């Protein structure tokens, strides 16, 4: 019985974390304004900062290796860099987080 209760709690916790990545923006979340030609065709990328911040300390992303600078708008990010494993691509390559590819576009780019 105790194992069943623990399993149910774990499932509920995972479900809440999964739905949090599609939650409405809150203070601290970031919507990246697109500046490239043809950018009207693709929704801007949305970064749920606090979903990530719950799991990681600031220095995990804000360091010389990953490259995020602590000033909004100061890090030029594009899909080529992400696909090369830079910025978001440091983690979003299948492990530890979902891979960035055509099937996962809407996980970041949403209206």
Q: Which residue has the higher pLDDT, 77 or 10?
A: 77
- List the single range of 22-26, 62-66, 91-95 with lowest mean pLDDT: 22-26
Q: DSSP states of 35-98 as a string?
A: -STTGGGSPPBEE-HHHHHHHS-GGGTSSTTT---SSTT-S---HHHHHTT-GGGGT-SSSSS-
Please say whether the beta carbons of 42 and 34 come within 8 A. yes
Neighbours of 78 (CB within 10 A): 14
Residues 6+ apart with CB under 8 A from 85: 93
Domain ranges of the chain: 26-107
Model confidence pLDDT, tens digit, residues 58-84: 999 898 888 888 887 788 888 899 999
Span 26-107 CATH architecture: Alpha-Beta Complex (3.90)
Do the Cβ atoms of 110 and 104 come closer than 8 Å?
no
For residue 111, pLDDT over 80 is answered with no
Residue 52 buriedness (CB in 10 A; 0-12 / 13-18 / 19+): middle
């Amino acid at each position: 019985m105790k194992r069943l209760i623990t399993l149910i709690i774990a499932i509920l916790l995972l479900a809440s974390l999964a739905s949090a990545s599609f939650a409405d923006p809150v203070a601290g979340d970031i919507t990246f304004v697109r500046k490239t030609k043809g950018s009207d065709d693709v929704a801007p990328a949305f970064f749920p900062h606090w979903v990530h911040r719950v799991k990681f300390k600031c220095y995990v992303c804000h360091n010389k290796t990953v490259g995020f600078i602590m000033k909004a708008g100061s890090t030029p990010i594009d899909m080529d860099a992400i696909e090369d494993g830079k910025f978001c691509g440091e983690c979003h390559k299948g492990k530890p987080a979902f891979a960035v590819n055509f099937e996962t576009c809407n996980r970041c780019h949403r209206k």
